[in-house]
Amino acid sequence: MAHRPSYISDEELLAYREERLRVEDLARIEQALRESRQLRERLAQLVEEEDRGWYSVGAVWRAHRISCPDRDTLAAYCCGALPQNEADYIRFHIDVVGCRLCEAELTDAQRRQQAEEEARATPRRKRLYESSLRYLPSDR
């Protein structure tokens, strides 16, 4: 059976160049580029066209990729405040599409939220501790 590398689109090539892909995809495209002169030439041509300003990577990206949810939506997703269908969309966008930008954004939001929760939890724990002191025997 002849070795046929899986089809790689122009968008993927440009995304590869911008490192806007999941690690597995980066590796897959890197491998394909190593094996295919044709693919390398296509990438070179894409880069050249881009340098001439025929189109920007961002424009291609936006036109061909499902658009990224905004920051507030990601934050809402993070604390489980989104309706099911929106949450599904974000899961798809990050896990299946593999948007690294949103993944980073989400990690950020999770970190912020965790910090907030800790800040809120501390005084509550302290209050709980202080109120339980009253029930302890005082002569020990």
Binding site for Zn ion (CB under 5 A): 68, 99, 101-102
Q: Which amino acid, one-letter code, is at 79?
A: C
CB nearer Zn ion, residue 32 or residue 68: 68
CB of 101 to Zn ion, least distance (A): 5
CB nearer Zn ion, residue 47 or residue 57: 57
CB of 99 to Zn ion, least distance (A): 3
CB nearer Zn ion, residue 8 or residue 77: 77
77, 86 in Cβ contact below 8 A? yes
CB of 2 to Zn ion, least distance (A): 36
- Other beta carbons less than 10 A from residue 23's beta carbon: 10
CB nearer Zn ion, residue 68 or residue 76: 68
For residues 137 and 115, give the distance between their C-alpha atoms in angstroms, rounded to a whole number: 36
For residues 30 and 52, give the distance between their C-alpha atoms in angstroms, rounded to a whole number: 24
Report the candidate in 4, 6, 15 with the shortest Cα–Cα distance to residue 46.
Answer: 15
CB of 38 to Zn ion, least distance (A): 30
Report the candidate in 112, 111, 72, 68 with the shortest Cα–Cα distance to residue 90.
Answer: 68
Instruction: Identify the residue whose tokens are 């989104």.
Output: 82
